[in-house]
Amino acid sequence: MESSAAIELAKHVLLTFGLILAFGTVFGLLAQRLKVPDVAVFLLVGMAIGPAAMGLVDIKPGSALNQLILIFGSCYILFDGGASLRLKVLKEVWISIVIMATVGVLITAFITAAAAWYVFSLPFIVALLLASTIASTDPATLVPVFKQVKIKDRVAQTVMSESAFNDATGAIITFVVLGLAMGQGEFSFGTSLLDLGKQAGIGLVAGGVLGYLAALLIAHEKYAFLQEYAPVVTLMAVIGAYLGADGLQASGFMAVFVFGIVIGNKDVFGFEMHEGEQEKMEDFVATTALVMRMFIFILLGTQVDFDLMAKYWLGGVAVVLVFMLVARPATVFLCALPDRRARWSFKEMLFMCWTRETGVIPGALAGLLMGLGAPEAKLIASVTFIAILMTILLQATTTKWLAGKLGLLMDQS
């Protein structure tokens, strides 16, 4: 009986995967024809085939399967994003990236918290918990958008890098505020700063070391005995970078992103792959990243709780509008404008103000708060999903249009 139940469960999972791939392929082609980022279309597809509508796909947010897809999918998309960055460009803008990924998250959180405190009449610490949950930008959303919409390098790479690096900041702030909101701790600026430095530092080192070792094994003139297995090496190393950093109480996502940067810039370290093997690896990475996008955003769409959102939609929309139109511009101008080395133009900063999509990581944090019984967890989850829907459907779909208006598309150089 148990064996039969296991087989039926396996068949159900296979059917679910087949449906996600089928719908993802059809609507991915549609997004390509419409010339809009596919993540927005996948999100809508998920809402349509989820339990609240057609009921074709129903994977519970708290299930191990869902967490596996979200963690590995986000990791692989981050690796893909890191591999597309160039160290030469990052050298010019690293100050802006560091400030936006740290101080910028705090600025966003406090401005959004003030809006949530006013709109929902919450205790300020609970409003700050809500704001901290959604304060970080989402690399799993932004990386695919910039893969499809070719923005000038320094702008695209700054926004993608910020989104990868600010996850650790957002998570740390969220759990520090959670402890205060539940009366389980006292705030210590020094301790929090030390924790952030530890997570970032270990993540950077773990990703850098694994990236160098992987490059050595797939591209070294003498020791590249795994060159033909380069795609498999990327899979192993993505998993190893995440779990290794996470096991050391550091940011696994940062480790994966840095691993991608090292692999994407392996020529800087003196490693060169044969052209055919390089193309094979790039094709594999691009296809795998596409499949991960389908799974992540279709699943995210299926998990939108319409009943919960309906309860708080008016206040949620008001808070998210402040989040998008006040907090983000304040963050960009306060953090990027002082960076004289980068010499940001007004148009570049205006574009960065509009690119702060919310997605997988804030959604995961909201789910954790629900599981931990945090104060006003349902309200926080509702506003988080409203933020995900509004930022992806409004901002991701208009990225190319705005970049064109501001003269920031690659073909406008």
Query: Which has the higher per-residue pLDDT, 305 or 162?
Result: 162
| pLDDT of 184 | 60
- Segment 111-128 shows an average pLDDT of 94
- Is the model's pLDDT at 189 over the cut of 70? no
| pLDDT of 105 | 92
Amino acid 160 reads: M
- Is the model's pLDDT at 377 over the cut of 80? yes
Alpha helices in 220-274 (DSSP H): 230-247, 252-264
Query: Which has the higher per-residue pLDDT, 39 or 323?
Result: 323
- Is the model's pLDDT at 326 over the cut of 70? yes
Check if the beta carbon of residue 146 is closer than 8 Å to that of residue 160.
yes
Q: Which range is least confidently modeled, 156-160, 164-168, 319-323?
A: 164-168
DSSP state of 63: S
Query: Which has the higher per-residue pLDDT, 89 or 1?
Result: 89
Residues in Cβ contact with 97 at an 8 Å cutoff, skipping those fewer than 6 apart: 90, 158, 161, 162, 165
- Segment 46-54 shows an average pLDDT of 89
pLDDT band for 299, please (50, 70, 90 cuts). Answer: confident
- Is the model's pLDDT at 366 over the cut of 70? yes
Q: Which CATH number fits domain 71-412: 1.10.2020.10, 1.20.1530.20, 1.10.8.60, 1.10.3720.10?
A: 1.20.1530.20
Q: Name the nearest CA neighbour of 233 among 204, 205, 262.
A: 262
Q: Name the nearest CA neighbour of 127 among 269, 309, 318.
A: 318
Q: How far apart are CA 104 and CA 169, in angstroms?
A: 10
- Is the model's pLDDT at 2 over the cut of 60? no
| pLDDT of 144 | 80
pLDDT band for 315, please (50, 70, 90 cuts). Answer: very high
Amino acid 60 reads: K
β-bridge partners, 151: 409
- Global pTM value: 0.80
Domains of the chain: which residue ranges?
2-59, 71-412
Q: How far apart are CA 400 and CA 11, in angstroms?
A: 40
Q: Which range is least confidently modeled, 81-85, 175-179, 370-374?
A: 370-374
Check if the beta carbon of residue 40 is closer than 8 Å to that of residue 397.
yes
- The whole-chain average pLDDT of the chain stands at 86
- Is the model's pLDDT at 319 over the cut of 90? yes
Phi, psi for 151 (deg, rounded to 5): -95, 155
pLDDT tens, position by position, 247-277: 888 878 888 888 988 998 888 888 888 888 8
Check if the beta carbon of residue 65 is closer than 8 Å to that of residue 51.
no
